[in-house]
Structure formats: structure tokens, C-alpha cells
Structure 1
């Protein structure tokens, strides 16, 4: 087994991406590592350029083969194990905002000379005490990866939006962005980024729109009073519902129902 690595003690708080640890490992069958201390607010990028390995993240196992990478965000357990005669890979511990790709997911992407050079520069800069420069090199590497995987991301984003809409409708009374994030098993900041990119608004604002549209349906098609509609939508104060509805439609619920009925008379 051969490895080259460097690690620093602290994160850079003033830079959008901060890299703290870099490993370049050439492992053999006896390589088997279990992390005992999990730092749940950091990410792991593991890029295999030769051989096979197994990566376990919170009980989920991924088979990492040549030209695959995984972005891991563990909260309970993280382990690596060589699954062939050799397993050679780069490993980075980093933080970034926003996170552009799906976590705990295996991507297929060829390892190019450009990628190799950026990884080498990141490790060398960290060794030379230039953490900000190392983070800049890594951010470039990470951004190029995100760009090349954009088609996969687009499909993934649309799936996230579709599942989010279903979840919002099913949990209209007790919705929260955190509960949606937990349901989708993705970080909250990633969820917010996807909504802003695809829908032009945050998940919470989008949910408010869903709730107001449902309120309009109740006003148009039922005889429920405002208090009953408020409760159905998760508002325990009809005044709060009325004020929010007016912000959304420019009229209060009573006016909206009256105008709707007048338009549809006869």
C-alpha cells in the first residue's frame, strides 16, 4: 500500500469551498477503514481511477470501480474497503455552499489528465500551507465535475421537484423544509439550490403557492367557511390565512369567493 496525504486543522470560513484533507491512495486487499468520528456537516469526494472498492455510507454500500466517483455525506457511519487486488483513488474532505450534486450517489465519469492535474495541485498547495489556493483548485475541479454531470443533474432535479410537490400536497398541514429534506434524503441547502435553479424560488415560497392554490380550490368548489379552510391548510388562525391569501391574490378569501361566484352565475 502507498499513500500521499495532507490535512489541516481548520476550515476556511470566508471562501465558498474549503478543502481540509486530501488523500491519494494505492491500496491492496487488506485495506479496510472504519471512521469512528463522523463530522456530519462535511462532504467526502472519492474518485476511483483504478481497481475496485466498497464504500459504506450510513449503512448504504456502493461499489466504486474505475472512473466512478461518489459524494458522501455521512451522519452515522463511513467505511472504505478494497474489493480487488488493488484499489487506487483520490479522497477529499471538503465543505461547500451550495452543494451542486446529489450526495451518497455513485457517478460514472472518466478520469482525465485535467482532473489528475487539479487533484495534484490541490494536494501540493495544501502541503505548502496554501489552504485557500488548495481550496480554489479543488473548487475548480468540483465545478468542472458538476458541469460535466449537468445532464444527470437536470434529470435528478426534476425528480426532486416532482417528489417535493407530492410531499407538499400530502403534508399540507405540517410541512417544513427540513421535513421535506429528510424525506428526500438530501441536504437542505441542496434542496434550496435545486428549487432556486429550477423554479426560481425557495421551497418554502413554492409551498406557500401550493397552499394558496389549494385555498382557492376550497373557496371555489366547497361551502366551507374561512375558519374551516384555514384549518385544512394548516393555519390555526384564520386571520393569518386571510392576510397571506390577500398577499397572494390581492383580495381576501371572502372577496375572492364572492367574485368567483359572480363570474360563474348563470
Structure 2
């Protein structure tokens, strides 16, 4: 457990770097929800975060600045009034624009309730939200971490829940897809356990692969085939966590040619092997 009296703030006059950092606790592996820390910083001109496997969930709100974020093969460009989620056990890379460095407020959380709430609000494979005003909620979370009351986690989960509702409402508003994109998503979900090609996907809606890729990426933010691959990996995660199926059995069920190819694909998108993912899931459960 962190010392609750350690509340750190820093302002470097020579570099103009500003940072508030309030550690709260380390995850105990049992609680459904824990706020681990909250922080605010600005003007880190050389900020780079490159993780092959994130150990918890990070929610970041961009107050100012710009930069590039890569998650699961997708590129995003967080700017003011945007928010991004760094999911647990996933790889990501973030680089601030040194000419216009990020000013961010973020908090780290962990616990099985985090995962369940993300899934309940259909946000378990969502990473980036733009044009959304959430600064008051993030500042409340920052205040909770700073004051570190005995009921900090109980109050934090209420704020967290409100943030998810806002994100889900925006997601529902934005995801008014065209007919061809809706048909593509439905087709992909029906064939997740099959080894299908981009030609199969585009043929289902009667468009060329290039044409479908253009309209799908414009509306969804990723290509149809990458969307298909991500959904397959997510299904594999569910099977690893909730069944006793072997890696070989899961690979066969999902239509991979062998367990080694499946393991390489899984690690590429999650940053961890299937066996280690299962082991980590078991360690973080009751």
C-alpha cells in the first residue's frame, strides 16, 4: 500500500514541466475495483510510453496538446477534449508532439468489476473518443486520489461508472453505421470461428475489398479485416479465461491452422502469450 501522505506536485521552471501525482494503492488481487493513482501533467515534450503488456487500465483525458497513439494496430491522434483507454494486458505506443505536448489528466484502475463494466457498456474493445467533455469527472477523480479518504474506492467507482455512461452514450451516437458496414459487422460476428479472407468479407456485401475498406475505415476507424482479427482475439481471451480448453483446442475452434500460429497472432495483438494471459487472469480472480 502506498503511503497516503505522499502527494507529489512538481513544477520545473527551466523546462515548464508541470505534474501532479497522487498514488493511492497497489492492486490486492481481490477487490472488484481499486483506484491505483491519478495524475495530471503538461509540457513533457519528450513523452513516450511504449508497453508490450499493460498491467492495469488507464483512462486518459486530453486537456491540451497533441500526439499519436497506436493500439492494436490502429493509429489515433488525441487532441483537446478527447479521451483514450489503455486496456489491461494490451500493447500500446504513445508519442506526444514535442511542438505541442500533451496536457493530460489520467487515472489507473484495476479489478474484475472494471472489465465487467467495460463489457456491459460494450466498451471492451473501444480505445479512443473524440469531442467529448469529461474534464470535471477526471478532476473529481484527481481530487479523490489527492485527499485519499477511507472510502476513496467506493467514491471512485461511482465517478468511473458515470464516465462509462458518457462514453457509451457517445459510442451509441457515433456508431450509426451505413447498411454495408452493418452487414459487414454482422457477417464478421457470424464467422468469427472460421478462417475467412478479406475477399470473403467484401463479397458478402458485393463490394470490392478496396471500396469496402475505405468506407469501413471511415465509419469504424479500422479496416474490416483488422476488425475481424481483433474480434477473434477477444473471443480467444474469453475462452482462455472462462473455459478449460487447451490452447490447441482454442486454436482449432477458431480455425487457425495450428496452435503456434494462433499463439503468435494472439501475442501480436495482446503483448502476451495465450498461456500467460490465462495465468494472469487466474492470478487476478478470486
TM-score under structure 1 normalisation? Answer: 0.53
- Three-state SS of the structure 1 residue aligned to 2:100 is strand
* Structure 2 residue aligned with 1:126: 145
Could you report, residue by residue, the CA deviation over 1:123-162 in whole angstroms, capped at 9, with x for unpaired residues? 2212314122122212212222222322235659886443
Higher relative strand content: 1
Q: For 2:92 and 2:182, how far apart are their aligned partners in 1?
A: 26
Q: CA deviation at 1:166?
A: 2.8
Is residue 19 of structure 1 aligned with residue 38 of structure 2?
A: no
* Distance across 2 between alignment mates of 1:62 and 1:12: 31
1:106 has 2:157 as partner: no
- Tell me, yes or no, if the aligned pair for 1:50 and 1:89 is still in contact at 8 Å: yes
Secondary structure, aligned partner of 2:42: strand
* Number of the residue aligned with 2:158: 136
User: What SS does the aligned partner of 2:165 have?
Assistant: helix
Q: Deviations over 1:16-44 (max 9, x none)?
A: x54323222212422233347632xx332
Cα deviation, residue 117, structure 1: 2.2
Q: Alignment RMSD, CA only? A: 3.8
Q: Which residue of 2 aligns with 1:87?
A: 102
Question: What's the CA shift for 1:61?
Answer: 3.8
| Residue number in structure 1 paired with 2:26 | 9
- Structure 1 pair 2–188 and aligned structure 2 pair: CA distance change class (3 A): farther
- Residue 78 of structure 2 aligns with which residue? 64
CA distance in 1, matches of 2:59, 2:31: 21
What do the CA deviations read for 1:29-88 (whole angstroms, capped 9, x no partner)?
A: 22233347632xx33222212110222335654221222222232646433322132311
In structure 2, relative to structure 1, the CA distance for the partners of 1:119 and 1:190 (3 Å cut) is farther
Contact map agreement 1:72 1:104 (CA 8 A) in 2:
no
CA distance, structure 2, for counterparts of residue 43 and residue 157 of structure 1: 29
Is the Cα contact below 8 Å between 1:57 and 1:74 reproduced in 2? no
Evaluate the alpha carbon distance shift between residue 36 and residue 28 of structure 1 in structure 2; reply closer, same or farther with a 3 A threshold.
same
- 1:104 Cα offset (Å): 5.5
Equivalences for 1:160-175 in 2 at 5 Å? 160-168=185-193
TM-score by length of 2: 0.50
Residues 59 and 169 of structure 1, relative CA distance in 2, 3 Å threshold: closer
Aligned 8 A contact 1:55 1:80 in 2: yes
What secondary structure does 1:151 align onto? helix
| 8 Å Cα contact 2:193/2:232 also seen in 1 | no
Instruction: Find the aligned partners of 1:59 and 1:135 in 2 and give their Cα distance.
Output: 30
Unaligned runs of 5+ in 2: 1-16, 197-226, 240-254, 256-286
CA shift at 1:183, angstroms?
A: 4.7
Q: Is the 8 A contact 2:48 2:93 kept in 1?
A: yes
**Could you list the runs of 5+ residues in structure 1 that have no partner in the other structure?**
172-179, 193-233, 235-266
Could you say which residue in structure 2 is the equivalent of 1:149? 171
Matched residue pairs, number?
Answer: 179
